[in-house]
A and B are shown apart, each in its own frame.
Chain A
Amino acid sequence: MTGFLGFILTQCLNALSQAAILFFIACGLTLIFGIMRIVNFAHGVIFMLGAYVGYTIIAVTGSFVLSLIVAPIVVGAVGMAFERTLLRRLYGRRDGGAYLMVTFGLAVVLSEAIRLVWGPQPLGSGIPDFLRGIVLVLGQPFPLYRVFLIGLGIAAALAVWQFLERTRAGLLIRAVSQNAEMVHALGTDVDLVRTGVFGLGCAMAALGGVLAAPLVTAFLGMGTTTVIDAFVIVIIGGMGSFLGSIVGSLLVAVVQVFGAYYFQDLALALMYALMLAILVARPGGLLGKEE
């Protein structure tokens, strides 16, 4: 393949692997919003917590695969505990501001707790041995780990989609996001669905954190920038829309990867400009309904 096309291909693959990590965060965020109308400001810190918990699991057991399984479970449990003890108390309130603020408070507390437990220095366990190396994609050399990310991202997107469409739990989630009162009246424990979705969203963000850690190491502050990226994605795609979170992740990843190459100084601004343009044209996002 010639130089330019090869370059474009490499950048596209980079964008895809970036989109995979972004999707893990944004998907949870949008599911939580869809069902609870909560903008979870703590989602970035949850993502960060996933990276740190994953680091510890790798440090103790030496198994990357195990960290991919255990870290989301641990962080998902933290999320469910938070939903049960604190968020639940706000369900009667009519203004969405309270959720923004409680989750912001959680973000502050959690990131401080992480600093106390793991210390201020960045922690990296590196790319696991079996995912190191280079593979050829259409004749272009490309890191195996990023191919792994792309594969896992696609698999997760398909799995969540099938889960939402084909299972009874998925049906309930979609029903609650449309009309929680009606579902409640039909005899379903809506609070249980909410706890479950909050936990699932947190677990997915944690998985994203474990996956991102080998690329960027786990560091304090990785949550603050990531959560904004995830917000942009969810807003672009439409808050509460699962498909929107996929489309948004791809768009933002493309803008980030190509923007960083072609307009270095403008890359950051480009993302927000894209979001504003979409919001002005469609206030509810690309695939969302206007509230």
Chain B
Amino acid sequence: MRFALTVLLVAGAGALVPLVAPAYALTILIEALIFGLFAMSLDLMVGYGKLYSFGHAAAYGLGAYGCALLLTRLQLPLPAGIALAVLATLLIALPIAWICTRSTGVSFSMLTLAFAQLGYAMLFRFKEITGGSDGIDGIPRPAGPFGITWFQGKLGYFYLVWACLLGSYVLCRAIVRSPFGAVLAGIRENEAKTRALGYNTRGYKMATVVLAYGVGGLAGALYAPFAGFASPELFFWLVSGRVLIMVIVGGAGTLVGPILGGAVFLMLEHELSRVTDVWPLIFGSAFIFFVIFAPEGILGLIVRRRATAGQGTVDGAA
């Protein structure tokens, strides 16, 4: 009940933001929310299953290119294009998840990386469809069924992204708190033991990977029609690395942390890159700092502070 109220309050507050924010800020805000959604999808793998994917750009790229092709070639209504792109991402994620979950640890990371790079390479192989290094530009936002057009404007698109982000968050939160999530946590802590308890751990991991790809695909599918183009860089491993950074800095295993991490990171990057060109230097150093000294991320740090403070009053000792 308290959770429902919080979500409603946040949703309402967020819906008011565009009314006070200047128009140019809205563009960055929408991009930030999309990236937050993307980071959250990776958190499902990293934070809950300890599945360090180094190829999550594949999910983003698949969603973006899928949506771009559906909208430019078939002129599908925007909602249908996004939905079908997510579906396509889920389908492609199935064999990827099947192969990647054969391995664990570093091999898993490398396999996911291989798939993302394979996707990157395929864009150049099938130039006539994907536009090769030029990518796809001029992606429209065709009107929806029954002549719905509210999402064609920037303000409307903000609400579309906002709704998708909140909806995905509520869904993912429910999943990680369900019995499914409990098994996943068991795998994260001790896979052998969980398997000994009779759970098909690989099946759980596969489901997590597919789910993460689906949500990541949604982020990509939202990005392409907003930016108006899709380029091969979306598949490149630097994107995977960046989003992983955001998950860690935001706080893996919290869902909210990576959303904030992704959104804040993108906005910071936008603002700071206007002021100083050594921005990557700052961000790289900050990242190293976080991994070494605060591996639970900003949100984790806050939560831990609060937990230890609470403990102090009960136990009387730190």
Contact = CB atoms under 8 A, between A and B. Distances in A.
Interface of A: 33, 37, 39, 41, 86, 89-90, 93, 95-98, 100-102, 104-109, 111-113, 116, 224, 228, 231-232, 235, 239, 265-266, 268-269, 271-273, 275-276, 279-280, 283-284, 290-291
Contacts of A93: 295
A239 B58 CA distance: 24
B78 interface: no
Given A101-B244, A228-B237, A280-B102, A269 B52 contact: no
A228 B117 contact: yes
B121 A275 contact: no
Given A108-B280, A239-B107, 17 more contacts: A39-B110, A93-B295, A95-B52, A96-B106, A98-B295, A101-B287, A104-B244, A105-B285, A105-B287, A106-B284, A235-B114, A269-B125, A272-B115, A273-B118, A276-B118, A280-B99, A280-B102
Interface in B260-318: 278, 280-281, 283-285, 287-288, 291-292, 295
Contacts of A107: 284
B288 A105 contact: yes
A116 to B, nearest CB: 7
Given A108-B280, A283-B107, A102 B288 contact: yes
Given A279-B103, A291-B104, A96 B52 contact: yes
B281 to A, nearest CB: 4
B245 A101 contact: yes
A265 B292 contact: no
27 contacts: A37-B106, A41-B241, A96-B109, A97-B46, A97-B50, A100-B106, A102-B291, A104-B245, A105-B284, A105-B291, A106-B284, A107-B284, A108-B281, A112-B284, A228-B237, A235-B107, A239-B106, A269-B122, A269-B124, A271-B121, A273-B118, A276-B99, A276-B114, A279-B111, A284-B107, A291-B103, A291-B105
A291 B117 contact: no
The 5 A-B pairs of least Cβ separation, nearest first, read A108-B284, A268-B121, A109-B284, A269-B121, A105-B288
Given A102-B292, A109-B285, A231-B113, A116 B278 contact: yes
Contacts of B238: 224
The B contact surface, by secondary structure, is helix
A272 B281 contact: no
Interface in B233-266: 237-238, 241, 244-245, 248
A33 B106 CA distance: 10
Q: How large is the interface on B (under 10, 10 to 19, 20 to 34, 35 or more residues)?
A: 35 or more
Interface string B21-64: 00000000000000000000000001000101010000000000
B288 A106 contact: yes
Contacts of B292: 86, 89-90, 98, 102
Contacts of B244: 100-101, 104
Contact of B124 (A116, A268, A279, A291): A268
A95 to B, nearest CB: 6
B193 interface: no
B55 to A, nearest CB: 11
A78 B206 CA distance: 40
B177 interface: no
B114 A112 contact: no
B118 A104 contact: no
Contacts of A33: 106
Nearest to B293: A89
Given A89-B292, A95-B50, A272-B121, A100 B114 contact: no
Contacts of B102: 280, 283
